[in-house]
Amino acid sequence: MEGEDEEVKKRRMVEARARNISHNVRCTECGSQSIEDSQADIAILLRKLIRDEIQSGKTDKEIFKKLEEDYGETVLYTPKFDMQTAALWLSPLLVAGAAAGVWAYNKHRQRTNVHIMALNLVRGVPLTPKEKETMLDLLTPPPSPRGAPSSWWKRWLGQ
Protein backbone atom coordinates (compact mmCIF):
# COMPACT_ATOMS: atom_id res chain seq x y z
CA MET A 1 0.00 0.00 0.00
CA GLU A 2 2.81 2.41 0.94
CA GLY A 3 4.71 1.46 -2.22
CA GLU A 4 1.67 2.41 -4.30
CA ASP A 5 1.43 5.78 -2.55
CA GLU A 6 5.09 6.45 -3.29
CA GLU A 7 4.54 5.48 -6.93
CA VAL A 8 1.52 7.82 -7.21
CA LYS A 9 3.51 10.67 -5.62
CA LYS A 10 6.40 10.03 -8.00
CA ARG A 11 4.07 10.07 -11.04
CA ARG A 12 2.44 13.28 -9.83
CA MET A 13 5.83 14.90 -9.35
CA VAL A 14 6.96 13.84 -12.83
CA GLU A 15 3.70 15.17 -14.26
CA ALA A 16 4.03 18.51 -12.42
CA ARG A 17 7.62 18.95 -13.62
CA ALA A 18 6.66 18.00 -17.17
CA ARG A 19 3.80 20.51 -17.19
CA ASN A 20 6.03 23.24 -15.79
CA ILE A 21 8.65 22.64 -18.46
CA SER A 22 6.00 22.34 -21.19
CA HIS A 23 4.51 25.72 -20.26
CA ASN A 24 7.92 27.32 -20.86
CA VAL A 25 8.57 25.74 -24.26
CA ARG A 26 7.14 27.27 -27.44
CA CYS A 27 5.49 25.05 -30.01
CA THR A 28 7.67 25.13 -33.11
CA GLU A 29 4.67 24.64 -35.37
CA CYS A 30 2.21 27.09 -33.76
CA GLY A 31 4.73 29.63 -32.48
CA SER A 32 2.30 31.47 -30.25
CA GLN A 33 1.36 28.59 -27.94
CA SER A 34 3.29 26.58 -25.43
CA ILE A 35 3.61 22.88 -26.15
CA GLU A 36 1.39 22.29 -23.12
CA ASP A 37 -1.49 24.14 -24.80
CA SER A 38 -0.86 22.99 -28.37
CA GLN A 39 -2.27 19.86 -30.00
CA ALA A 40 0.19 19.89 -32.91
CA ASP A 41 2.04 16.63 -33.54
CA ILE A 42 5.41 18.16 -32.68
CA ALA A 43 4.01 19.46 -29.37
CA ILE A 44 2.77 16.00 -28.44
CA LEU A 45 6.17 14.51 -29.31
CA LEU A 46 8.00 17.17 -27.28
CA ARG A 47 5.76 16.58 -24.25
CA LYS A 48 6.55 12.84 -24.45
CA LEU A 49 10.27 13.61 -24.85
CA ILE A 50 10.18 15.82 -21.75
CA ARG A 51 8.48 13.11 -19.68
CA ASP A 52 11.01 10.54 -20.89
CA GLU A 53 13.90 12.84 -19.99
CA ILE A 54 12.45 13.45 -16.50
CA GLN A 55 12.03 9.72 -15.91
CA SER A 56 15.61 9.13 -17.02
CA GLY A 57 16.71 11.44 -14.18
CA LYS A 58 17.64 14.63 -16.04
CA THR A 59 17.26 18.02 -14.36
CA ASP A 60 15.04 20.78 -15.74
CA LYS A 61 18.14 22.74 -16.80
CA GLU A 62 19.47 19.78 -18.76
CA ILE A 63 16.13 19.31 -20.49
CA PHE A 64 15.91 22.99 -21.46
CA LYS A 65 19.48 22.86 -22.74
CA LYS A 66 18.73 19.77 -24.85
CA LEU A 67 15.60 21.38 -26.32
CA GLU A 68 17.55 24.55 -27.11
CA GLU A 69 20.32 22.56 -28.80
CA ASP A 70 17.86 20.50 -30.84
CA TYR A 71 15.35 23.22 -31.81
CA GLY A 72 17.17 26.53 -31.35
CA GLU A 73 16.89 29.31 -28.81
CA THR A 74 13.46 30.43 -30.07
CA VAL A 75 11.86 27.29 -28.65
CA LEU A 76 12.24 28.73 -25.13
CA TYR A 77 10.02 31.54 -23.87
CA THR A 78 12.88 32.88 -21.74
CA PRO A 79 15.92 33.36 -23.97
CA LYS A 80 19.32 33.68 -22.34
CA PHE A 81 20.59 37.21 -21.72
CA ASP A 82 23.62 37.89 -23.90
CA MET A 83 24.97 40.83 -25.90
CA GLN A 84 22.49 40.34 -28.73
CA THR A 85 19.40 40.29 -26.50
CA ALA A 86 20.85 43.15 -24.41
CA ALA A 87 21.17 45.25 -27.56
CA LEU A 88 17.63 44.35 -28.56
CA TRP A 89 16.12 45.26 -25.19
CA LEU A 90 18.26 48.34 -24.55
CA SER A 91 18.03 49.90 -28.02
CA PRO A 92 14.81 51.84 -27.28
CA LEU A 93 16.47 53.37 -24.21
CA LEU A 94 19.53 54.29 -26.26
CA VAL A 95 17.39 55.93 -28.95
CA ALA A 96 15.38 57.86 -26.33
CA GLY A 97 18.59 58.95 -24.61
CA ALA A 98 20.09 60.12 -27.89
CA ALA A 99 16.92 62.06 -28.75
CA ALA A 100 16.92 63.69 -25.30
CA GLY A 101 20.60 64.57 -25.73
CA VAL A 102 19.98 66.18 -29.14
CA TRP A 103 17.03 68.13 -27.72
CA ALA A 104 19.06 69.34 -24.72
CA TYR A 105 21.98 70.31 -26.95
CA ASN A 106 19.70 72.31 -29.26
CA LYS A 107 18.09 74.07 -26.28
CA HIS A 108 21.52 74.89 -24.87
CA ARG A 109 22.75 76.11 -28.23
CA GLN A 110 19.66 78.26 -28.72
CA ARG A 111 20.05 79.77 -25.24
CA THR A 112 23.75 80.36 -25.87
CA ASN A 113 23.00 81.99 -29.21
CA VAL A 114 20.49 84.33 -27.56
CA HIS A 115 23.06 85.33 -24.97
CA ILE A 116 25.63 86.02 -27.67
CA MET A 117 23.11 88.07 -29.67
CA ALA A 118 22.17 90.06 -26.55
CA LEU A 119 25.84 90.76 -25.82
CA ASN A 120 26.39 91.81 -29.42
CA LEU A 121 23.46 94.24 -29.16
CA VAL A 122 24.91 95.74 -26.00
CA ARG A 123 28.29 96.10 -27.70
CA GLY A 124 26.64 97.81 -30.68
CA VAL A 125 27.19 94.98 -33.17
CA PRO A 126 24.26 94.92 -35.63
CA LEU A 127 22.20 91.72 -35.89
CA THR A 128 21.78 89.77 -39.11
CA PRO A 129 18.23 89.39 -40.46
CA LYS A 130 18.12 85.77 -39.18
CA GLU A 131 19.26 86.88 -35.72
CA LYS A 132 16.61 89.63 -35.69
CA GLU A 133 13.94 87.08 -36.57
CA THR A 134 15.15 84.73 -33.82
CA MET A 135 15.16 87.53 -31.24
CA LEU A 136 11.65 88.63 -32.22
CA ASP A 137 10.39 85.05 -32.01
CA LEU A 138 11.88 84.67 -28.55
CA LEU A 139 10.85 88.07 -27.19
CA THR A 140 7.30 88.21 -28.58
CA PRO A 141 4.86 86.83 -26.02
CA PRO A 142 2.50 84.13 -27.26
CA PRO A 143 -1.09 85.21 -27.91
CA SER A 144 -3.42 84.49 -25.00
CA PRO A 145 -5.89 81.71 -25.74
CA ARG A 146 -9.48 82.68 -26.41
CA GLY A 147 -11.71 82.39 -23.41
CA ALA A 148 -8.84 82.91 -21.00
CA PRO A 149 -9.94 84.70 -17.82
CA SER A 150 -7.85 87.80 -18.48
CA SER A 151 -9.29 88.33 -21.96
CA TRP A 152 -12.83 87.62 -20.70
CA TRP A 153 -12.50 90.32 -18.01
CA LYS A 154 -11.11 92.76 -20.54
CA ARG A 155 -14.07 92.21 -22.86
CA TRP A 156 -16.54 92.46 -19.97
CA LEU A 157 -15.03 95.70 -18.77
CA GLY A 158 -14.98 97.01 -22.35
CA GLN A 159 -11.23 97.39 -22.59
Mean pLDDT of the chain: 83
- Looking at per-residue pLDDT, the higher value among 132 and 153 belongs to 132
Helix, strand, coil shares of the chain, percent, nearest 5, are: 70, 5, 25
pLDDT digits (tens, 9 = 90+) for 27-77: 888 877 888 888 889 889 999 999 999 999 999 899 999 988 888 887 887
pLDDT at 95: 94
Q: Look at residues 21, 25, 59 and name the one whose alpha carbon lies nearest to residue 40.
A: 25
Name the CATH superfamily, with its identifier, for domain 7-75. Answer: Cytochrome C biogenesis protein (1.10.8.640)
pTM of this structure = 0.50
CB burial of residue 100 (10 Å; 0-12, 13-18, 19+): exposed
3-state secondary structure of 25: strand
The full set of domain ranges for the chain reads 7-75, 83-140
Higher pLDDT, 23 or 121: 23
Give residue 127's pLDDT. Answer: 81
Please write the tens of the pLDDT for every residue from 123-136.
Answer: 888 888 888 887 77
